[in-house]
Structure 1
Amino acid sequence: MLIVIYLIGMFDTRAPLFRQVRVGRYQQPFTLVKFRTMKPDTASVPSHLADANAITPFGKFLRRTKLDELPQLWNVLKGDMSLVGPRPGLATQVELTEARSLLGVYDVRPGITGLAQIKGIDMSTPQLLAKVDRTMLTTLSVPQYFSYIFKTVSGAGAGDAVSK
């Protein structure tokens, strides 16, 4: 499936993989890998600040199905991320970084999915996001861990919001 998406992405954007430096465990930077959903010349900003017109037709499909997240399995294998945890933000998202730091959210690896994603909370509300991340970390159990994965795969949450 990864190869098929990659090949379709070559026709869609000519650069199917997207790499972006994100804030990881202990606030250490790492390079996150995803399938590209926006035009290659789109500014490197949080999704909720990006222009919705920058999303390609194939990118809309990838976002809706959450298939754009599949390359992050490489980040999981490398140890930069976990399957479940707080979504990694950008270093430029100072308010989010500060709120998460105060709540100890950076004591764990960021994740591909988590409670905030299931609830549809994106990075446009940094204080709320940090609180939900902390709640997830303090209440996380093995059954919840797998339920977050199952809910994400089955379509819970809206994905990353973009500007209209």
Structure 2
Amino acid sequence: MPSELAKQHVHTNTPQKISQQQLLDENKFYLTAKRVMDIIGAIVGLILMSLLFFVVAIAIKVEDPKGAVFFSQTRVGKNGKEFKMYKFRSMVSDAEERLKDLLKYNEVTGAMFKMKNDPRVTRVGRFIRKTSIDELPQLWNVLKGDMSLVGPRPPLPREVEKYTEYDRQRLLVTPGCTGLWQISGRSNVGFKEMVELDLQYIRNRSILFDLKIIFKTVLVLFGSKDAF
């Protein structure tokens, strides 16, 4: 179910498309301040989390010495531009090859794949996914400008291929490490609901709204029951 923060920004139950003029009219101060906040947040986060990065890297290598510590995956960003998104590896090395045999067990609707007891996930991977630690390397994507601290989840190319014109509105802005979807149930929220939450965010973006989402993310980061 959507969080109280998400509900506060619902203006209508009727789907409405976002016009290009809305984006062109967006406050330039907000966009500049958002980028500055992203850069500072990413640098501070990478410094403060450096010891945690080291510990997690060792744990991943101990469990699977042959596998890489980091996992990069092609994602679709603003205006359909593809980029490499980084995460701590939480699955076995041949996870992508094994995906085709698991698609029939998908537990969410729409253009996404989620499986609660995914056999590809390692023991260390299960822990870092539960705590969202696997997402922390995305701070490097934020620093590079591929992503923002707050924004829609960056989809996979195969997901975008299934998008309707309405769904593609998610790609009008820079994707983020966290957003309304992540604090509103994550894997318990279906694809259509995720799209609506993302569009709510795009329509109501502001520095204060971003800060509220970041604060809420920190609160649920180490206690989420919805991540898998």
- The answer to whether TM tops 0.5 is yes
SS in 2 for 1:118: coil
The answer to whether residue 115 in structure 2 is matched with residue 64 in structure 1 is no
Q: Cα 1:97–1:125, aligned 2, differ >3 Å: closer, same or farther?
A: farther
Aligned residue number for residue 114 of structure 1: 179
Q: Normalized against structure 2, the TM-score is what?
A: 0.62
Q: Cα 1:159–1:115, aligned 2, differ >3 Å: closer, same or farther?
A: same
Instruction: Find the structure with the greater CA-based Rg.
Output: 2
Which of 118, 121, 129 is the equivalent residue of 1:55? Answer: 121
Aligned residue number for residue 2 of structure 1: 53
Identity, in percent, stands at: 36
Q: Number of paired residues?
A: 159
Q: 2:130 touches 2:227 (CA, 8 Å); kept in 1? A: no
SS in 1 for 2:85: strand
Q: Name the CA distance, whole Å, in 2 between partners of 1:66 and 1:89.
A: 17
Q: Cα 1:136–1:158, aligned 2, differ >3 Å: closer, same or farther?
A: farther
> Which 4+ runs in 1 deviate beyond 6 A?
none
Q: Cα 1:2–1:159, aligned 2, differ >3 Å: closer, same or farther?
A: farther
Q: 1:18 touches 1:36 (CA, 8 Å); kept in 2? A: yes
Shift of 1:121: 3.8
Q: Name the CA distance, whole Å, in 2 between partners of 1:66 and 1:135.
A: 23
Aligned residue number for residue 156 of structure 2: 90
Shift of 1:91: 0.6
Question: Which shifted more, 133-142 or 24-33?
Answer: 133-142
Q: Name the CA distance, whole Å, in 2 between partners of 1:155 and 1:15.
A: 28
Aligned residue number for residue 192 of structure 2: 127
Which of 91, 95, 112 is the equivalent residue of 1:42? Answer: 95
Q: Deviations over 1:8-48 (max 9, x none)?
A: 21122331211100011111110000001111111265551
Q: Name the CA distance, whole Å, in 2 between partners of 1:128 and 1:15.
A: 34
Supply the RMSD in Å over aligned alpha carbons.
2.3
Q: Cα 1:67–1:111, aligned 2, differ >3 Å: closer, same or farther?
A: same
